[in-house]
Structure 1
Amino acid sequence: MEDSTLALLEQLIARPSVTPQDAGCLDLIGARLAAVGFALERMDSGPDDFRVSNLWAVRRGRGTDARADGAGPAHAPAPVLVFAGHTDVVPTGDLAKWSSDPFVPTVRGDRLYGRGAADMKTSLAAMVVAVEDFVGAHPDHRGSIAFLLTSDEEGPARDGTVVCVERLRARGERLDYCIVGEPTSVERLGDTVKNGRRGSLSGRLRVIGVQGHVAYPHLARNPVHQAAPALAELAVTSWDAGNAYFPPTTFQISNIAAGTGAGNVIPGELVVDFNFRFSTESTPESLRQRVHALLERHGLEYALDWTLSGEPFLTPVGELSAAIGAAIEAETGITTELSTTGGTSDGRFIAKLCPQVVEFGPLNASIHKIDEYVPLDQIAPLTRIYRRTLENLLL
């Protein structure tokens, strides 16, 4: 199992699949899945200059009532377990700073280096090999196993998982459990499973002033001075207290721009970019309303554009978290912690169709960094954890 996962992982890393390029990863994975009885369906989407590769692959097992003509959705009284993930990776950055070519998988010491090693090609390889091993031992397993894979997770995420979910929803496809292969482990493999994620709401605030000479402030209106008290209040506002699963909602300013570059000109406009990472105790609507009320109370002339990147999702303790928790403990001896920290993931889209979604994968210490890596001694245990989870849910 270890050799098989490592070999597939190296093949995946060697494909330079920078968003939205898949670089043949889905063809490689699809061929492996087809060989063990999966039906493959490509759901590619997007314009020609940003074409996204998507794959939906399903293996129907015992207890699945599929239509004989193959048309329409299958109705599965037994569970449908989905492995989800992305083949795309972030750009490498300065190649001169890498110790080895990021698209040549390289072993140094006890680590395998390469772009995507942690995020998330190790998980993809482990999922595929775990399923191959499981199906080989249990060809008549109950329920269904599926893969939902995209090359548009690290990018704008407009033509990837979100498109697939909508197509599956439109035809009545049922999903019961989903494991997203995001790198969630912090100190040791298995110490953290994500059972939810915070929402992400961004704003671009334009505060309108009147440009003028710094020596004649009475003839101008400085938007920086006007906005400063409001921004200070936004920074210290308590938006909610969080709950048992989520930390409190946070507000962060990411960019501020004003001025012409000259030292003797009062700017005519201030532009502020900010972001909320919000818990289920707040909604996009409530946050928008509170921000607008605060800005208006400060008497600002402004325009504010909002972008909702994702709403929060939460999977309470249930069959899926119990199954993967038991698999982790059996393999590593660790009692995993359920967490909702971190950024957004494609789980936010899948959760709209699937009632139980968790994320689990290898160490996340090196994701998106120069010299991204995965510890070699995590590859086989991760594969076995995925296989044990299959056994816990489908036998």
Structure 2
Amino acid sequence: MSEQRLAEILDLSQRLIRNHAVSTGAEEVDTVGIQASYDDLVRLLERAGLNLYTFTDGSIYPALYCDAGPVGSPPRGAFLFAGHFDVVGAQSEAQFEPRIEGDWLHGRGSADMLTVVATSVLFMRDLAKAFEGRREDAPRLGLLLVSNEESGECEPWGTPFILANLKRRFEYQPECIVAGERTGEGAVRVGKVETKSRGMLRAQLVASAAGTAAHTALNTHKTPIAKIFALEHVVNQVIGPQDGFWRSTYHVSYINGGASHSFNITPEECFAGIEIRPANPGEAERYRDALIEAAEREGVDVVIPNCEHAVVTPNDDPWVARLVTALATATGEQPSTLIGPGKLPGSQVRFAPMGCAALVWGQSGVGPHSAHEAHYIPSILPFYDALTALARDL
């Protein structure tokens, strides 16, 4: 049975990789690939007879929610497992042709996070079958899958839009959200439970010249590129030097100004993007306010599509105990070893409602977003078995 289950999970994972569901950047969005993955998942969940809600209106980013309750009943997922079936663009088209080598599944999205999506979808199918004829007794476990996580979930149907929709329609709010991102790095059989997850602040900047382009020797105004550098300096000063694993970081993600090899002409405009990963609650708003103030001072236009705080759930939270106990039961690992140091990349838990436990827990792999992305196959079944153990407690 375990071998058959693993084969099914790997088969669905590879199908999702081949779909090419790229969501990063307006010019790169593959709506055909995104729709193909959505259709594959919806067909599977519909055939399983799950209580399914789909979200497609007015957006190129479809999404879904399901649980094993009676079809047509309000959402019942006190424990909500969140994931995404979109991927970032690849370094090579060959990454969309998955391959298995030994214990590793290679391909774009294999580690982030199509294998976990395949595992959770097939788990929900099996859960519905186990409670066939008595759906009202099914565990209070829901699954939420979106297709614009990689691009920031700034528009429908990202996680915050779905949660708001379900709250408005059904007064539904989960008690615990778990993002299924990778929490095992490398050849690790059991992914840890992360109780801390950094937030995300993204700023799109446009700096213009005081006049038109000019000779560098005669220009008397701060150039657009210099204005961007001034803002970068402010961000660096506000965040300050930080040491250790758990810290806030920032990067200038892109910058475009001037013409290549034109040394003696100041550009008329400069475009740039800054991404900050705040490590502690409250920091996102402080960094945002400092950036806006500096942008006004420098005369730079700024748009902030993302400003989400870091989330920290106490290690002694009852939901942490439930998940860690289920993971220990399924894997034989000691509970004291199953809580990790924190999840550095942002995740869907940054949208968790107030009072909701927010955790990250997934499988293992290497190289997300890189040319050598791969998923560690032996981490799949321990994850599935832990979901099964958790469901017994819900």
- 2:85–2:145 CA contact under 8 A, matched in 1: yes
* Corresponding residue for residue 103 of structure 2: 110
Query: Which amino acid counterpart does residue 141 of structure 2 have in structure 1?
Result: I
Cα separation, 1, equivalents of 2:58 and 2:205 = 26
- 1:234–1:251 CA contact under 8 A, matched in 2: no
Q: 1:342 to 1:293 in 2, by over 3 A?
A: same
Cα separation, 2, equivalents of 1:41 and 1:224 = 47
Cα separation, 2, equivalents of 1:226 and 1:93 = 31
Root mean square deviation, CA, Å: 3.6
- 1:178–1:354 CA contact under 8 A, matched in 2: no
* Corresponding residue for residue 85 of structure 2: 87
Q: 1:87 to 1:288 in 2, by over 3 A?
A: closer
- 1:111–1:374 CA contact under 8 A, matched in 2: yes
- Residue identity over aligned pairs, in percent, reads 21
Indicate the SS of the match to 1:121.
helix
What TM-score, normalized to structure 2?
0.77
1:258-302 Cα distance to aligned partner (Å, 9 max, x none): 434533224455544322222344354432332355567xxx541
- 2:182–2:191 CA contact under 8 A, matched in 1: no
- 1:190 Cα offset (Å): 3.2
* Corresponding residue for residue 192 of structure 2: 192
Cα separation, 2, equivalents of 1:179 and 1:239 = 28
Query: Which amino acid counterpart does residue 65 of structure 2 have in structure 1?
Result: W
Indicate the SS of the match to 2:250.
strand
* Corresponding residue for residue 119 of structure 1: 112
* Corresponding residue for residue 327 of structure 1: 326
- 1:355 Cα offset (Å): 0.7
What TM-score, normalized to structure 1?
0.77
Q: 1:241 to 1:191 in 2, by over 3 A?
A: farther
Indicate the SS of the match to 1:46.
coil
Cα separation, 2, equivalents of 1:260 and 1:25 = 40
* Corresponding residue for residue 385 of structure 2: 384
* Corresponding residue for residue 314 of structure 2: 316
The answer to whether 1:287 aligns with 2:283 is no
- 1:173 Cα offset (Å): 1.5
* Corresponding residue for residue 154 of structure 1: 150
Cα separation, 2, equivalents of 1:30 and 1:327 = 28
Quick check: which has more Rg, 1 or 2?
A: 1
Query: Which amino acid counterpart does residue 370 of structure 1 have in structure 2?
Result: A
* Corresponding residue for residue 357 of structure 1: 358
The answer to whether 1:306 aligns with 2:303 is yes
Structure with greater proportional helix content = 2
- 1:201–1:275 CA contact under 8 A, matched in 2: yes
Cα separation, 1, equivalents of 2:113 and 2:232 = 39
- 1:124 Cα offset (Å): 2.1
Q: 1:368 to 1:241 in 2, by over 3 A?
A: closer
Q: Give 5+ residue unaligned stretches, structure 2.
A: 23-30
Q: 1:45 to 1:254 in 2, by over 3 A?
A: same
Indicate the SS of the match to 1:290.
helix
- 1:221 Cα offset (Å): 2.0
Q: 1:250 to 1:22 in 2, by over 3 A?
A: closer
* Corresponding residue for residue 55 of structure 1: 64
Q: 1:225 to 1:17 in 2, by over 3 A?
A: closer
Cα separation, 2, equivalents of 1:127 and 1:17 = 20
Cα separation, 1, equivalents of 2:12 and 2:65 = 21
* Corresponding residue for residue 52 of structure 2: 40
- 2:191–2:364 CA contact under 8 A, matched in 1: no
Cα separation, 2, equivalents of 1:229 and 1:2 = 55
Alignment of 1:190-269 (within 5 A): 190-195=190-195, 196-206=197-207, 208-210=209-211, 211-217=213-219, 220-223=220-223, 227=227, 230-231=230-231, 233-234=233-234, 236-239=236-239, 247-261=246-260, 262-269=262-269
Select 2:347's aligned residue among 345, 348, 355: 345
Q: Give 5+ residue unaligned stretches, structure 1.
A: none
Query: Which amino acid counterpart does residue 366 of structure 2 have in structure 1?
Result: A
- 2:79–2:140 CA contact under 8 A, matched in 1: yes
- 1:305 Cα offset (Å): 0.8
* Corresponding residue for residue 166 of structure 1: 164
Alignment of 1:365-376 (within 5 A): 365-376=366-377
Cα separation, 2, equivalents of 1:243 and 1:180 = 26
Query: Which amino acid counterpart does residue 80 of structure 1 have in structure 2?
Result: A
